[in-house]
Amino acid sequence: MIDTNVYLSRWPFRRLEGDEPAQLVAKLREGKVVQAWAGSFEGILERDVAGVNNRLAETCHSFGEGMLIPFGTVNPKLPDWQEDVRRCHEEHKMPGIRLHPNYHGYKLDDSVFAELLKLATALGLIVQLALSMEDPRTQSPLMRVPAVELVALTSAVKGTPGLRLELLNCTAQIGREEYAAALATGDVSMDISMVEGVAGVARLVRQVPLSRLLFGSYYPFFYFESAVLKIEESGLDEVSQKAICVENARRLMPRT
Amino acid sequence: MKTLGAGGALALANAGARDNRGLGGDMRIWDQHAHLGSVPGDTPEERMGFLVKCMDRVGVERLILSQGYSDDRHPNPPEQFRLENDRVMRAVKAFPDRAYGSVYITPALPEFSLQELNRCVRDGPMVMIGEIEAEARCNVPGMDPIAEWAVANDVLVLQHEWLKAGGNEPTESTPFDVVELARRHPRLHIVCAHTGGNWELGIRTIRATKNVYCGLAGSDPTNGYVEMAVRELGAERVIFGSDVGGRSFASQLAKVEGAAISNSDKQLILGGNLRRLLTPVLRKKGYKI
């Protein structure tokens, strides 16, 4: 199984079972995960994202014997963010980057977002876009962060031929039509970590192309078992399970 | 692919997966909080049939069904409540080994609610009260005759509540309201349906009021929820529920399956506590426990 959505380091508001890398790797191994695409909670709030990415790369190198694949943080509102993209690609040899527009203060119609997509695509990087980190109803009153507005994504994707984009944490605060429209725009996929409703993944398979659905647990913020049980509850056939749990991720990242 | 072929993810998605995760085959899972809303199907029987298929896939033995499936969250006049309760009773009648019914009422209409309690629970097949959600907060005086009826008849109450960061709806209860009611009726057994949603606050709110239980349903499967609940309340006060069909069984079961607690605590939370609390009414009706 390939888990396209895990996080390393510490969530600022809560200690999590699994926020130590050895613990995280053990849990993923227990869940039969052979590869996990890892971002960093630190990248959400810290402004020295180069330091964040150094630590992310080092942790992925030191734990899991190749299981952890680092996806570096890029905040295009920081000065000289292009250098962070370059280091992710050239120095850390990362296959992709992970973005958090709602925590970094830009919308998807911001010209800097289009510029970032173009640069990442030119370097062959996968772009992961985290749409939400926490239900806004349960956020700290000191830091209430609404989900990313997806409406402007279509034009940004259309303007970036060759872009490989995965939407993470696809919250129900965004409408199904918006997701369908986004996925129809280009090579855009989504993970299942926040898909809800009874047999929700089976419903999704009927609404969007199977090839665009990826297994993502959002561990350790969520209990890892949630995503596994969603597959189980949905009663998918073997072909669909393989596509979501392995093959679609392999297509998106064929070289690892 | 090698891992899958060797019985990895696909094995998890097959029957018997619960043993792989260490729950053991003797885990009897009862879901205290289920609805027919957002479930495919044109009739109560079809919707319940769909739920049963999903229950089988994840190992849920039985659920407690309430509220029918109207999109109207504020059913009034009372005929709408009757219709929803009738829908639940039809669904339960079609699958008597997989569901029990729970009566939908509102403290905004206490006289009607008492009639409906008698119709559906005393004289009918239902075994529980709630999820009470509509029209009024649960600390209003109109809730007192309902609580007295529940105590007199040994019936458990499921109360909707949240503690939303952006503020609740005007008639939406909070865990504080549940505590206020529970202190007025110390022999009442009442479950906070969502434990605030903001569970770190909800657990603290109900901690000192021993006749209030922590319901796990209807919030994201955030890591640490069940561990804190067991630490602060004891496993005996924590009750699994899903809030299907708006939620999945999966995300809600994961809270317990994934928690770093003992298997005996998981047994209590996933069904043991609910069966204990329902025992008086189930015995009275001659139902299976």
What's the CATH code of the domain at A215? 3.20.20.140
Q: What is the mean pLDDT of chain B?
A: 91
How far off is chain B from A118, nearest CA to CA, in Å? 32
DSSP SS3 for B46: helix
Helix pair angle (B249-257, A225-234), 10° resolution: 140
Q: How many domains does chain A fold into?
A: 1
If one counts every other C-beta atom within 10 angstroms of the C-beta of residue A103, the result is: 16
Residue-level pLDDT at B10 = 46
The answer, yes or no, to whether residue B9 has pLDDT greater than 70, is no
Choose among A1, A134, A225: nearest Cβ to B3. Answer: A1
- pLDDT tier, B70 (very low <50, low <70, confident <90, very high otherwise): confident
Residue-level pLDDT at B6 = 30
Can you give the length of chain B in residues? 289
Query: Could you report how far apart the first and last alpha carbons of chain B are, in Å?
Result: 43
Contacts of B51 in chain A (CB under 8 A): 198
Q: E strand or H helix at B180, and its extent?
A: helix B175-184
- Lowest mean pLDDT of A86-95, B128-137, B151-160, name the range: B128-137
- pLDDT tier, B8 (very low <50, low <70, confident <90, very high otherwise): very low
DSSP SS3 for A7: strand
The answer, yes or no, to whether residue B210 has pLDDT greater than 60, is yes
- pLDDT tier, B135 (very low <50, low <70, confident <90, very high otherwise): confident
Single-letter amino acid, residue B213: Y
Structure-token match 């009826």, residue found: B149
Q: Which domain holds residue A94?
A: 2-252
pTM of the predicted structure, to 2 decimals: 0.95
Using an 8 Å Cβ cutoff, are A100 and A128 in contact? no
DSSP SS3 for B77: coil
DSSP SS3 for B285: helix
Q: Do A135 and B12 touch (CB under 8 A)?
A: no
Q: Do A242 and B53 touch (CB under 8 A)?
A: no
Q: What is the ipTM of this complex?
A: 0.96
Choose among B12, B53, B219: nearest Cβ to A232. Answer: B12
Distance from CA of residue B80 to its chain's centroid?
21
Q: Which residues contact B138 (CB under 8 A, 6 or more apart)?
A: B107, B132, B159, B161, B173, B177, B178, B181
Using an 8 Å Cβ cutoff, are A66 and A55 in contact? no
Q: Do A235 and B53 touch (CB under 8 A)?
A: yes
DSSP SS3 for B60: strand
Is B246 an 8 Å CB contact of chain A? yes
Single-letter amino acid, residue A133: M
Contacts of B34 in chain A (CB under 8 A): none
The 10s digit of each residue's pLDDT in A183-199 is 999 999 999 999 999 99
Choose among A135, A200, A236: nearest Cβ to B248. Answer: A200
Is B231 an 8 Å CB contact of chain A? no
In chain A, what percentage of residues exceed pLDDT 70? 99
Please state which of the four CATH numbers 3.20.20.140, 3.90.280.10, 3.40.50.1260, 3.40.50.720 is assigned to the domain occupying B26-282. Answer: 3.20.20.140
Is B248 an 8 Å CB contact of chain A? yes
Q: Which of residues 202-221 of B touch A (CB under 8 A)?
A: 219-221
Can you give the length of chain A in residues? 256
In chain A, what percentage of residues exceed pLDDT 90? 96
Residue-level pLDDT at A195 = 97
Distance from CA of residue A160 to its chain's centroid?
19
- pLDDT tier, B72 (very low <50, low <70, confident <90, very high otherwise): confident
Contacts of B224 in chain A (CB under 8 A): 14-17
Using an 8 Å Cβ cutoff, are A248 and A214 in contact? yes
Single-letter amino acid, residue B55: M
How far off is chain B from A55, nearest CA to CA, in Å? 23
The 10s digit of each residue's pLDDT in B147-194 is 999 999 999 999 999 999 999 999 999 999 999 999 999 999 999 999
- pLDDT tier, B24 (very low <50, low <70, confident <90, very high otherwise): low
Residue-level pLDDT at B16 = 44
Residue A23 DSSP code = H
Contacts of B165 in chain A (CB under 8 A): 136-141, 144
- Residue range B193-217: average pLDDT? 98
Q: Which residues contact A79 (CB under 8 A, 6 or more apart)?
A: none
Q: What is the mean pLDDT of chain A?
A: 96
Helix pair angle (B199-206, B225-233), 10° resolution: 10
Residue-level pLDDT at B5 = 31
- pLDDT tier, B26 (very low <50, low <70, confident <90, very high otherwise): confident
Q: Do A198 and B248 touch (CB under 8 A)?
A: yes
